[in-house]
Amino acid sequence: MDHSVHNKLVSFIWSIADDCLRDVYVRGKYRDVILPMVVLRRLDTLLEPTKEAVLAEVKFQLEEMEATELDDAPLTAETGYVFYNTSKWTLKSLFSTATNNQQILLANFEEYLNGFSANVKEIVECFNLKAQVRHMAGKDVLLDVLEKFVSPYINLTPHDKEDPDGNKLPPLSNLGMGYVFEELIRKFNEENNEEAGEHFTPREVIELMIHLLFDPLKGNLPDPLTIYDSACGSGGMLTEAQNFIEEKFPIEGTKRDIHLFGKEINDETYAICKSDMMIKGNNPENIRVGSTLSVDEFAGKTFDFSAQNPPYGKSWASELKNIKDGSDVIDPRFIVELADYWGNKSKVDATPRSSDGQLLFLMEVVSKMKPLDISPLGSRVASIHNGSSLFTGDAGSGESNIRRYIIENDMLDAIVQLPNNLFYNTGITTYIWLLSNNKPEERKGKVQLIDSSLLYKKLRKNLGNKNCEFAPEHITEIMQTYLSASNVERKLSDNNDPVGIAAKVFDNQDFGYYKVNIERPDRRCAQFKEELIAPLRFDKSLREPMEYLFSEYGEKVYETGFLKSIEKEVVAWCEDNDISLNTKAKSKLLDTKQWQKLRELVNNANQLKAAFESKGLSGSSVNESNDFNQFKADVDSELKTLEIKLSASEKKAILDAVSWYDENAVKVVKKVVKFKQDKFDELLHHLDCDASDLADFGYFPPTESAVESKKLEFTTYETNSDLRDAESIPLLYNQGKDTDNSEIHQYFLGEVKPHVSEAWINLDSTKIGYEISFNKYFYQHKPLRSMDEVASDIIDLEQKAEGLIADILGVDLAEIQGE
C-alpha cells in the first residue's frame, strides 16, 4: 500500500475521531463506528450507478409480477455484484436530504440498512451497526459522521477517483482495509494491542509468502485453483494471492478461475473479509465465521494452496472439548499415524499443549492438502509461526509428533526466519513454514533453512512494535536463495559482524532424535528406626494437615465422627496456611478409616522393628543393613512369623520409609529371568544386539561364563529414578561409522558406558522426536578482540573523559598537567 494513501487514511480516521466521536465514544470504541462505516461506504459506492435500475426491477417484480418475495437473480444482474439494496436511499442521498431532525435521519438510515440483500445484512449484524447508528443519532453526531464518509475528498472505493480539485485519489484495496483495521487497534485500542498480530500481517510478509507459494511453479498453475486461509482475518492474504496470480500468471484470452476460502473467528474482520469478497466478485459464501479449531467447516474439502498467519501463544483450552474426549483425540485432523522404534505403526496424538494452538492451525491446512492422485501438482502451504513451533515439546509429545509427521512424510520444504520487530504487536522472532506434498526431485528428502533475520530496512517511524520492513530487493534475495536449493554462507563485515542472508540444506532425518532412558541400579541401605517409621502415620499428599491434626488432637483423630465434627476448623486452618483441598483430598483427610489404616501400618512396622531387634537381624535399630535384597527377604520371613498380612502397596510403603539410596550398598535385584531358546532369540531380535551385549540393556548374566555355557539365566536390577538420565541421540548418529550396532547402542558405548560402567539402556522407553534449532545451525562465533585493541580503546576513552571533565570544571588541563 502506498504510504501517501495510508497517511491520507490515517488523517481521515483522526478527523472522524476528533470532530465527531471524541465525546461520544471512549477511544477503544472508535473502531465500532469507523470500520462498519468504511465497509458500508465501499459497498454503497458500487451500488450508486445502478440504483435507478434496481428500483425499477423492484417495482416490476412487486407490481407487474405481483411477487410476494423479491427474486435475487434479476437484482444482482442489475448491480453486477452478488448484493443489492432495494431502498430508495444511498449514503449521499441520506446526507443531502437530511435536516437537523436526527430521528428522521435515523428512520431513513434504518430503512436504507433494511433494504440490503441478506448477505450484506449479515455483515451489518456482525458489526452491530444498527445499534451504533441509533447511538450516534441519540448523541446528535450521525449527520456529522455521514458527512465525513460521503466527502468527495476521500476515496473508500476499490476504484480510482478524482476529487473536486482534479487530484487523483487512489483506490482502497482489501490490504488497505487491513491497514485501517491495524491503525484503529494500534491508535485507539492500545490496551488490547495484542489483537493486531492476530488479525493483520504486514504487506511485505504477505508478498514474500505469495512468492514462496507460486514462483517455484513458474506459471504451471491449475485452473481452476483454490486458495485457503484458516485464520483469514480481513482477507488480505487471499486477495493479494489472487491479485498476484492474475497479474503474474494470466491465461491468454480468459480470466483465471480462482476460488478463495477462509475462516475467521472475529466478527469484525470476518465482515471486512466477506464484504471484500463481494466487491471483488468472489463467492462470499466461501468465507465462514467461527472457530477453525472447534468446527471443521471445510471437512472433506482440499485446496491447491494455503496461506495463513495463525494466532500464536494463544490458549485453545476453551476448544478442548471439541477436539479431545479426556485424553483421546476425537477430531481426525489432529490424529496422525507414526511408527515406534521397532516400526510398528499406530495412531497418535497430534495436539500441542493447550496454552498454544498455532500448530493445530498447521495441522488443519495439512489435512486439507490435495493428494497427488487427485491433483498431480499436490498442494503448497505457507504458514507463519513463532519459535515455539520449532522445538517446543519433547519426543512423543503432540508438538513433536506434528513436526515428525510433516518431516517424515517429506512435506516440509523450507523454513524462513524473519527479522525481529517486523510485526505490529510483537518483536519476537517469527518464521515462515513452507510445505509441499510434491517437492521437485532435487528437494525431495531435504529441508532448506533460510536465515533472513539480518535482511531489513529500518522505518523512519515505528508502527507499534514494527520498526523495520523488507525492501523489494530483500524479497528477491530470499527467493533466489530458496530457488537455488543450496547452502549460502553468511558474510562478515569489516568488524567481523555477520551480515546478509544464510541458508543450509539438511536431510529430513537430521532433525530427528531418539529419546531413551539410561538406567542405573538402585542401591539401598535399610534400618527400622523410629523416626523413619513415624511418618507412615500420615498420607504423603496430606502430610502437613495430618501432622497438624495429630499434634493438635492426638488419638482423638481415630475416634469415629470426630474429624467430621471439626470439618469447618480443618478447612479454615488449611485456607489460612495456603493449602488447597479439592473434594477428594478433603474427604480423604476427614476419613477416620483412612487414619486408622495408616495407624495400623505404623503398628505393623513397629512389630517388624521389634522382631528384627530381638533376633539381631541386619537392619534393626542398632544394625544398619547395606543389602536390601537380604533385608526384604528377612521382612517377608518375619511377616509370616508374625502372621501379618500386608497388601503389596502397604509393604512397599514400609520398605520405602525405612530405606534410602547409598552408592556403596549392594545392588537391589528386581528378578532373575530364565529364558527358553525361542524367547531368548526374540529378546535378541527386539534389542537388536548379540548375547554378549545383553548387560548393556539391563540383562546381567550371573557369571562371565554363563553366556558361553548357554545357560539362559539373567539378573535384572531395580532402577533408581533419581539417577535416571534421558539421552537425546541423533537418528543419524551412526552415519559414517563402521559398526553394526544400532545408533542408540553405539551412542551408549561411546558416550555413556565409559563414564558410568553400571548403567544400561532402557530400550523400551525409546521415543522418536523432531526439533529444529536455527540458533544451533546458524550461530557464528565472533572472535574476541586482542588485548592490544581493548587496551588502546580504554586509553582513548580515558583521554576523552579527562578532556570532558576539564571542560565541565572550566580549567585548563595543560596548565594543571604542567604544574
Q: Per-residue pLDDT tens for 502-532?
A: 999 999 999 999 999 999 999 999 999 999 9
Residues near 9 by beta carbon (within 8 Å), at least 6 away in sequence: 172, 176, 179, 180, 183
Which residues sit opposite 502 in a β-bridge?
A: 451
Topology at the third CATH level for domain 196-511: Rossmann fold (3.40.50)
pLDDT at 92: 94
Q: SS3 of 445, please?
A: coil
Looking at residue 785, its pLDDT comes to 74
Q: What is the mean pLDDT of residues 767-781?
A: 89
Q: What number is the average pLDDT over the span 94-119?
A: 92
What's the whole-number mean pLDDT along residues 199-217?
A: 89
Q: What percent of the chain stands above pLDDT 70? A: 92
Is residue 621 within 8 Å of residue 530, measured between CB atoms?
yes
**760-770, strands of its sheet edge to edge:** 725-730, 512-519, 760-770
Please state which of the ranges 217-221, 490-494, 603-607 shows the lowest mean pLDDT. Answer: 490-494
Looking at residue 197, its pLDDT comes to 41
3-state secondary structure of 390: helix
- Residue 711's pLDDT is 74
Is the preceding omega at residue 754 within 30 degrees of 0, hence cis?
no
> Which tens digit of pLDDT belongs to each residue from 299-310?
999 999 999 999
Domain ranges for the chain: 3-172, 196-511, 525-605+633-657, 787-818
What is the reported pLDDT for 658? 96
DSSP letter assigned to residue 387 = T
Q: Specify the pairing of strand 512-519 against strand 725-730.
A: antiparallel
Residues 6+ apart with CB under 8 A from 539: 546, 588, 594, 598
User: What count of other Cβ atoms lies within 10 Å of the Cβ of residue 805?
Assistant: 11
Q: Which helix (H) or strand (E) holds 527?
A: none
Task: Determine the pLDDT at residue 196.
Answer: 41
Secondary structure class of 171 (helix, strand, coil)? coil
Contact 631, 669 (CB under 8 A): no
Beta strands in 667-754 (DSSP E): 669-674, 713-717, 725-730
Band (pLDDT 50/70/90 cuts) for residue 342 is very high
Q: Which of 347-351, 451-455, 488-492 has the lowest average pLDDT?
A: 488-492
Q: CA 261, CA 253: separation in Å to the nearest integer?
A: 26
Residue listed under C-alpha cell 533385608: 631
Window from 160-174, 192-206, 394-408 with minimum mean pLDDT: 192-206
Measured CA distances, 51 to 54, 134, 451 (Å): 5, 25, 54
Rounded (5°) CA angle 719-720-725: 95
Q: Is residue 192's pLDDT more than 60?
A: no
* Structure confidence by residue, pLDDT tens digits, 352-384: 999 999 999 999 999 999 999 999 999 999 999
Q: Which long-range contacts (CB under 8 A, 24 or more apart) does 674-677 make?
A: 674/712, 674/713, 675/712, 675/713, 675/714, 676/712, 677/712
Q: What is the mean pLDDT of the chain?
A: 89
Lowest mean pLDDT among 181-195, 270-284, 414-428, 620-634: 181-195
Is the pLDDT confidence value at 296 over 70?
yes
pLDDT at 191 over 50: no
User: In angstroms, rounded to a whole number, what is the distance separating the alpha carbons of residues 285 and 268?
Assistant: 16
Report the share of the chain in percent with pLDDT over 90: 69
Distance CA 301, CA 227 (A): 12
pLDDT tens, position by position, 616-669: 999 998 899 999 999 999 999 999 999 999 999 999 999 999 999 999 999 999
Q: Taking a C-beta distance cutoff of 8 angstroms, is the pair 761, 696 a contact?
A: yes
281 — pLDDT class (breaks 50, 70, 90)? confident
Q: What are the backbone angles phi and psi of residue 324, rounded to the nearest 5°?
A: -130, 145
> How far apart are the C-alpha atoms of 89 and 47, rounded to whole Å?
11
What string of DSSP letters covers 213-251? HHGGGTT---SSEEEEETT-TTSHHHHHHHHHHHHHS-B
Residues 57-71, mean pLDDT to the nearest whole number:
89
pLDDT confidence of residue 647: 95
Q: Which residues pair with 347 in a beta bridge?
A: 337
- The three cell numbers of residue 12 are 481521515
pLDDT in tens, 137-190: 999 999 999 999 999 888 887 788 888 888 888 887 766 776 676 666 666 554
The residue type of 380 is R
C-alpha cell at 322: 471439541
CA distance 266 to 285: 16
> DSSP class of residue 371?
P
pLDDT at position 179 is 67
> What pLDDT, on the 0 to 100 scale, is given for residue 425?
73
760: β partners: 519
Nearest to 69 by CA among 118, 113, 130: 118
Residue for cell digits 496461506? 307
Q: Report the range of poorest mean pLDDT among 613-622, 667-676, 783-792.
A: 783-792
Q: What is the pLDDT of residue 193?
A: 46
Q: pLDDT at position 706, please?
A: 47
Distance CA 607, CA 599 (A): 12
What pTM value is reported for the model? 0.86
How far apart are the two ends of the chain, measured CA to CA in Å?
Answer: 68
Note the pLDDT of residue 788. Answer: 80
How many residues are listed for the chain in this entry?
Answer: 819
State the average pLDDT over residues 468-495: 92
CA atoms within 13 A on the CB side of 197: 23
pLDDT category at 423 given cuts 50, 70, 90 is: confident
Report the candidate in 484, 408, 416, 425 with the shortest Cα–Cα distance to residue 455. Answer: 416
CA distances from 41 to 105, 150, 457, 603, 604 (A): 17, 8, 35, 85, 85
Pairing of strands 258-264, 225-229: parallel
CB atoms < 10 A from the CB of 701, how many? 19
Give the per-residue pLDDT at 154: 85
Helix (H, G, I), strand (E, B) or coil at 468: strand
Other Cβ atoms less than 10 A from the Cβ of 734: the count is: 18
